[in-house]
């Protein structure tokens, strides 16, 4: 596959270029956010591997730009910043997964395969519309509407709501939601799922029909 690597540390980029090339991938290196932005104007990639701490335009700003322009290429963050707050912030901005440095190369390959497989499956779905009551999600356009009015979701809110809609009429535990939406292992005591459920509920109209149901002691459920 075609991979864009955004990394300014020459030691790390050399290691990744060698390993990923030997694994059969085509790698394009950008050692700054500005270079990555220019490359993305011209070329398409299967996945973007991105550091956060870059000279000039950093990884957070670059992720925002990529998503603002409607580019939904999977972004896997590779960063020495490993606090839950750093991970949550990058995922909120639109990144798809987060791998803390140092990491095992085999895990990197596994994460790349998982993200690209998930992305390809989403494109292979014949029906790009998910619906429940008056709400519809167009997964091609990443657009959520209710009674014809568009709902503005953050990237994480959209990912959470879409995951719930994809599993309509099925109870999802907080652990399942954390794994599939945030893609990383959080401490089980975190309340990030409940916080984001409340964000989503504040943006949808449940006066005519309750959309998101709380299953006490288990998790959440969307049902018709």
Task: Provide, rounded to the nearest whole percent, the portion of the chain with pLDDT above 70.
Answer: 93
Q: Which H or E run contains 35?
A: helix 33-42
Identify whether residues 101 and 146 lie together within a single domain. no
pLDDT of residue 187: 58
What is the per-residue pLDDT across 70-103, written as a single tens digit (0 to 9) for each?
888 999 999 888 788 888 889 999 999 999 888 8
The candidate with the shortest Cα–Cα distance to 72, out of 42, 98, 40, is 40
Identify whether residues 72 and 156 lie together within a single domain. no
At 124, is the pLDDT very low, low, confident or very high (cuts 50, 70, 90)? very low
The whole domain housing 213 covers 129-222
Number of domains within the chain? 2
Q: Which of 92, 122, 152 is the last residue of a domain?
A: 122
Q: How many alpha carbons fall within 13 Å on the CB side of residue 31?
A: 8
Q: Supply the CATH number for residue 106's domain.
A: 3.40.50.2300
What global pTM score does this model have?
Answer: 0.61
Q: Is the pLDDT of residue 148 over 50?
A: yes
Q: Supply the CATH number for residue 151's domain.
A: 1.10.10.10
């Amino acid at each position: 596959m075609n991979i864009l690597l955004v990394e300014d540390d020459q030691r790390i980029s050399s290691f990744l270029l060698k390993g990923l090339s030997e694994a059969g991938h085509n790698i394009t290196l950008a050692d700054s956010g500005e270079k990555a932005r220019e490359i993305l104007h011209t070329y398409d990639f299967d996945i973007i591997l991105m550091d956060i701490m870059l000279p000039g335009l950093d990884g957070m700003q670059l992720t925002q730009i990529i998503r603002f322009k409607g580019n939904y290429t999977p972004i896997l963050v590779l960063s020495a910043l490993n606090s839950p707050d750093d991970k949550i912030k990058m995922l909120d901005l639109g990144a798809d997964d987060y791998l803390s440095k140092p990491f095992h190369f085999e895990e990197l390959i596994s994460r790349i395969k998982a993200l690209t497989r998930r992305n390809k499956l989403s494109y292979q779905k014949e029906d790009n519309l998910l619906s429940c009551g008056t709400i519809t999600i167009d997964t091609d356009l990443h657009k959520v509407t209710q009674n014809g009015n568009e709902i503005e979701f953050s990237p994480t809110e959209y990912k959470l709501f879409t995951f719930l809609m994809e599993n309509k009429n099925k109870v999802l535990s907080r652990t399942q939601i954390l794994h599939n939406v945030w893609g990383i292992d959080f401490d089980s005591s975190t309340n990030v799922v409940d916080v984001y459920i409340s964000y989503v509920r504040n943006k949808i109209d449940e006066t005519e029909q309750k959309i998101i149901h709380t299953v006490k002691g288990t998790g959440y459920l969307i049902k018709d």
